[in-house]
Chain A
Amino acid sequence: MNESHVITTITLMPLIGGVLVMLLGRSGEARVKQVAGLISAVVFVTAALIWKNFSQVNSDLQFVEQVNWIPALGVQYFVGLDGIGLVMLMLAAVVTPMAILVSRSGDERCAFYYGLMLWLQAGLFGVFTAMNFFHWFLFWELSLIPAFFLVRLFGGAGRQAAATQFFIYTMVGSIALLVGFLGLYHATGTFDFVELAKIAKGGSLRLTIEEKLVWAGLSGTQVYLGLAILVLMGFAVKVPLFPFHTWLPATYSEAPSPVTMLLTGAMSKLGIYGLLRLFLPIFPEAINMMLTPLLLLATATIVLAAAAAFVQTDMKRMFAYSSVNHLGYCLLATFAVVAVAEDAGFDRAAALNGVVLQSFNHGLTAAAIFAFIFFLEKRHGGKRGVDDFGGLRKIAPLFCAFMGISLFASLGLPGLNGFVGEFLIFRGVFPLAPWAAVLALPGLLITAVFILTFMQKVFSGPLNSGCESMADLDASERNSMVLPVVLMFALGVFPGFIIHAVNPTVLKLIEGLGGK
């Protein structure tokens, strides 16, 4: 493996792998799954090697490949990894094999199914490594297509409406994002994220925009803010930010559960990643100007999503809302870091490290939870209402132990992975925007309430009729879930494993934010 083409290689691996899998055609699901699993395992090992060779003291981009593509337009093939990209890449590399391992499409088009999963992974890798808007946007859009087909072709009864909604929502966001970036390009003449961040850091981005883009009687500041809002729209839909989140519960619940694992585990991080890479460094001033409404929206996302999760009876809808809630904390922290405060270096570092950590942890935990929901669905003829189950601890103790651990991780129990991210986020946000931190706090409580209610209904009480013959985890299910559960403990006790990789990048990002 040529050192300088590492990133291209790891992006092409699942892409080509996906083609291979599709060529297997009708050779039976077991075989197709085996091949797809093997490919994703190889990809995982490659990602682990990248992690190992990544220098944790270096805040620069690493494994850079930069080739001129369309020089006239400033379009380059420019890929590289920093700490944030690395963690996201790792997450996609962890979640994809998990999703493939637990999959069971039971469909003759299974080759297509597994192939699409690998393509989705390739799209994610592309997004997490691209440093030039041009091909970043290509991957951003291309990752949507496999996701769309996975929902549309293999989903539940309401899949058509859900897939349509999913597609329209994200398309609208993407178009807004595209227009925003065209405006930026118009003003600055570059698509390079690093360049754009540099211009913004110097404080001249706003001036450039105000000078170069004078449209239809709008003042320069209005144009600047308008561009920022357009760019934000793209991410607000993807993460999602209230009130652009309504596609998510429908999509997550209609998608087949292993696909939901990918959607929530890896794909939902596109939005967070985009905010950290494209929005925060380029538009800090704009965020600052809109800080109060943005923080309000973020707290609304956190609290309302948790509250909505509480009244859901469909498990997948419940945890879809839970995902919205968890990523809401990331939004809160991402917005709050631009607040002007004295001596805020440590607060910002805590908040942004928290965002990345929370993203990774949420990906891992939510994917695991959807896997467990899938196991339940499989055993109960596709039923997944909270009230369809009861007393499972009696007959499926291992299942309940593993899922219980994942649920507690999701609840933010210290000692498991979820806590440290949430703690760091609140640690950072509290001094920067105390009122927002306090307003968001009920989210933590409501999450505890609905998760414990879930456990009370599903795990405890007398055995539900219809559940009597339900089997505990079989060997393959157990083996596929041991690693994630162990990781939950490991990252809860040693969060440094991720934080140390991210911290230099975060420090650099903060430096770019300027301020006091």
Chain B
Amino acid sequence: MGDSVYTWAFPMIALAPLFAALVIFVSRFFCPFPNKKIASHLAIGSMCLAFFFSLLAVINVADTQQAPRVFNFTWFELGTNALQLGWIMDPLSSIMAVMITFVGALIFHFSTAYMGKDENYQMFFCYLSLFAAAMLGLVISNNLLLMFICWELVGVASYLLIGFWFYKPSAAAAAKKAFITTRIGDLGFFIGMLWLYSETGTLLFYDANGMGCLEQSAVAKMVGQTTMVGMTVSTAISLLIFCGAIGKSGQLPLHVWLPDAMEGPTPVSALIHAATMVAAGVFLMARVYPLISAAPPGVAVSGGLQVVTWVGTLTAVFAALIAIGQYDIKRVLAYSTVSQLGYMFMGLGVGGVGVAMFHLIMHAFFKALLFLGSGSVIHGCHHEQDMRRMGALQHHMKITYLTYAVGTLALAGVIPFAGFWSKDAILHYAWGWEVSRLPFFIGVFGAFLTAFYMTRQVVYVFYGKVYRGDESHMPEEVPESMTKPLIILAVCSIALGFLGMPWLPAFQAFIEQVPIEAEGNFGSTAVFIIISQVVVGFGIAIGLAIYGVLPHEKPEHPDEAEEHLPNQFAVLRDKFYIDELYERTVVKWHKSFGNLADTLDRKAVSLGVMLVSFVALGISWLSRFCDDYLINPGFDEGCKRVSRSGRFMAKLQNGRIQEYLRVFGVALALFLLTLFITGR
């Protein structure tokens, strides 16, 4: 197919779901007949259409192997210039679009059953479609501004979906927290974008003449300049943009919103807070990789990449630690997501776009699987989320159990599941990082923790002798419309990893558009595999040793780890007290600042009014003086009124419009008088 087809077909990837969202919204409020099913069909249909177009794009990109193809257009004319936006069709955007539309369609399908009885069914699909449109727009945009626009829109869709059950105060609070926390990061993104714009004069990533802001000439210019503390401008800008990624991808120190976001319906957690939106930060950094990786000659690794690596590494292990101390099935997964996103950033820092994207895509499949699995568990257990009130579900929910096991093995990194290949690639690169080997060791420790907390979760939920929930309501397997997506995702979580094996990293080569070339020799790779499998096996073994076949039959029984190390466990359970810290500092300061501004105003009011009333009093006296002695001595009555109104104004109980109008009149008269005196 020629390019001309893609000029309209490619943007359709984002526009189709947007259209669906609009139609659903309008029909929800203005349609005379019931249209519940139409809404979900429309949403799923638009996703399938978008999937079809993304597949075409991937095939075309793989076929042609050429420079990114861009479709730019003018948004509006400004000054003597124009503001251009555009779409980009390259490996990065097309592979993301395929993943989002595929996983998205499955999750939409899952939701038809999961949300089937909800009274706001249509709005749920409206928000989901809005989200999909914004997310797809984000990945295919060729302009940082357009990306920022979509970035904010996914934020608002996430806000709407987290707070979907708005009557729950906790959901409303979580939605607000998510939006505000990410917006803090977005301020950095915003400034970075403005800076980039004023440095390069464009926000197009690539344009037809090689003048885009990520292209050779622009980047070279920014690497050549230094700014505060000796940073190059390119590093400073990319770090500001990274602030946005920190917020969106829940990295330290802005990770606090993501676990709370689990208040949303579980399909939302699967789609937005596991597979796609939270990975947008990684995608953003992958997109601006030419900028962030640009280093002046003589510097091996740019400052920007170093920061990204360290933030990612620390978050990976920090979140994994917290995950150990959680009881809510979804919160464990949420912290796991934070941790895995940390790995992606680490991969981006140490190994580049290919490795990071590989882990991103693999993670999207197996984490969506795990979240949908947890949704299925929650559904089966009649809306119970506390793992202590589950148990022995392997007997009640067979398909859910098996698929969940696949997801767990993939996440833990057991060969040959998808997560194994992608996480090992990151660790492999971390070993070879020029700056430090510490990220490698921390990463390996994180892998151990991951295996451990997932083992704990699986034991709690699926193993054990008895079901610890309400026995009059035994759990039961979910309907087929929910198990089908689970099976498909499970198959993907096994099969897709082979695309990026170290001996044949086809995926990475496709992303970076280089010939396929094995990483290292067979021997060293094998050593890494053995090391990682030993670590993972160790994690699983310890998990089983501690939790084993859970002996408790009552949910009140404390956690094994809690029993033996209560203080340490409490720290993990309470998430290192970060939320409390923020509550007592930033949130409190913000409130006091507001009060200060308000008090300032109220005091300033009284002060200002006092001053003005003196002036008004003066003018009134002057006016009285004129009336009394100069103009009209006869009108005693009028004078009394004037002086009375003067006193009124002093007290500021009342104002007399006549007085002001008189002042106005006097002023105008003076004005005219001056004119006549000074006029030519």
Contacts and interface: CB of A to CB of B under 8 A. Distances in A.
Given A167-B655, A249-B601, A448-B179, A456 B149 contact: no
A72 B679 contact: yes
A456 B78 contact: no
Contact of B166 (A182, A303, A350, A461): A461
Interface stretch (B89-97, B398-406, B482-490, B667-675): B667-675
Interface stretch (A216-224, A377-385, A494-502): A494-502
A104 interface: no
Interface-centre pick from A245, A419, A427, A438 (highest chain B CB count, 10 A): A427
A414 B193 CA distance: 14
A427 B194 contact: yes
Given A445-B187, A460-B172, A415 B149 contact: yes
Given A164-B654, A168-B616, A350 B78 contact: yes
B598 A311 contact: yes
Contact of A141 (B175, B591, B664, B674): B664
Given A185-B678, A391-B167, A499-B77, A148 B198 contact: no
Interface string B583-616: 0000000110111111011001100110011011
Contacts of B680: 72, 74, 189
A307 B594 contact: yes
Contacts of B169: 460-462
B8 interface: no
B152 interface: yes
Given A164-B652, A171-B663, A243 B604 contact: yes
B162 to A, nearest CB: 11
A448 B149 contact: no
B81 interface: yes
B80 A461 contact: no
Contact of A160 (B167, B654, B664): B654
A314 B153 CA distance: 29
A452 interface: yes
A136 to B, nearest CB: 13
A453 B605 CA distance: 26
Interface in A429-482: 430-431, 437-438, 441-442, 444-446, 448-449, 452-453, 455-456, 459-463
Given A164-B654, A462-B169, A423 B145 contact: yes
Contacts of B660: 167-168, 171
B635 interface: no
Interface stretch (A199-207, A277-285, A393-401): A393-401
B655 A163 contact: yes
Interface string A138-180: 0001000100110010000000110111011101101100100
A264 B490 CA distance: 57
Nearest to B671: A178
Contacts of B679: 72-74
A248 to B, nearest CB: 10
B318 to A, nearest CB: 25
B657 A167 contact: yes
Contacts of A463: 167
B433 interface: no
A441 B615 contact: no
B78 A353 contact: yes
Contact of B201 (A175, A189, A346): A346
Nearest to A498: B76
Given A308-B598, A456-B173, A414 B148 contact: yes
Contact of B176 (A164, A171, A456): A456
A427 to B, nearest CB: 6
B522 interface: no
Contact of B674 (A182, A249, A311): A182
A185 to B, nearest CB: 7
B252 interface: no
A186 B678 CA distance: 7
A349 interface: yes
A460 B166 contact: yes
A310 B590 contact: yes
Contacts of B653: 160-161
B597 A441 contact: no
B152 A414 contact: yes
A304 interface: yes
Interface-centre pick from A312, A394, A430, A459 (highest chain B CB count, 10 A): A430
A19 B276 CA distance: 61
Contacts of A186: 674, 678
Given A246-B601, A308-B597, A311-B598, A165 B149 contact: no
A449 B180 contact: yes
Interface string B226-265: 0000000000000000000000000000000000000000
B590 A446 contact: yes
A385 to B, nearest CB: 15
Contact of A462 (B167, B594, B597, B667): B167
A168 B167 contact: no
Contacts of B297: none
A352 to B, nearest CB: 9
A345 interface: yes
B180 A459 contact: no
Contacts of A413: 152-153, 156
A499 B78 contact: yes
B76 A499 contact: yes
Given A408-B156, A495-B76, A426 B657 contact: no
Contact of A441 (B175, B180, B187, B676): B187
Contact of B80 (A250, A345, A441): A345
Contacts of B431: none
Contact of A311 (B159, B171, B591, B654): B591
Nearest to A493: B75
Nearest to B165: A460
Contacts of B6: none
A259 interface: no
B663 A431 contact: no
Interface string B171-202: 11101100110011001001100110110010
Interface string A360-404: 000000000000000000000000000000010110011001000
B520 interface: no
A347 to B, nearest CB: 7
A449 B615 contact: no
A148 B657 contact: yes
B29 interface: yes
Contacts of A398: 29
Contact of A152 (B593, B657, B667): B657
Contacts of B674: 182, 186
Given A415-B149, A441-B187, A460 B163 contact: yes
Interface-centre pick from A152, A303, A310 (highest chain B CB count, 10 A): A310
Interface of B: 25, 29, 75-81, 145, 148-150, 152-153, 156, 159, 163, 166-169, 171-173, 175-176, 179-180, 183-184, 187, 190-191, 194-195, 197-198, 201, 590-591, 593-598, 600-601, 604-605, 608-609, 612-613, 615-616, 649, 652-655, 657, 660-661, 663-664, 667, 671, 674-676, 678-680
18 contacts: A167-B660, A171-B663, A174-B667, A308-B601, A349-B80, A350-B78, A398-B29, A430-B195, A437-B194, A438-B191, A446-B590, A456-B173, A456-B175, A456-B176, A460-B166, A461-B168, A461-B172, A462-B169
Given A161-B652, A172-B615, A308-B594, 14 more contacts: A160-B655, A165-B609, A186-B674, A304-B600, A307-B593, A346-B201, A391-B166, A393-B166, A394-B166, A413-B152, A431-B198, A452-B159, A456-B173, A510-B79
User: What are the 3 tightest A-B residue pairs by CB atom distance, in nearest-first order?
Assistant: A349-B79, A164-B655, A496-B76
Interface of A: 72-75, 141, 145, 148-149, 152, 160-161, 163-165, 167-169, 171-172, 174-175, 178, 182, 185-186, 189, 243, 245-246, 249-250, 303-305, 307-312, 345-350, 353, 391, 393-394, 397-398, 401, 408, 413-415, 419, 423-424, 426-427, 430-431, 437-438, 441-442, 444-446, 448-449, 452-453, 455-456, 459-463, 494-496, 499-500, 503, 506-507, 510
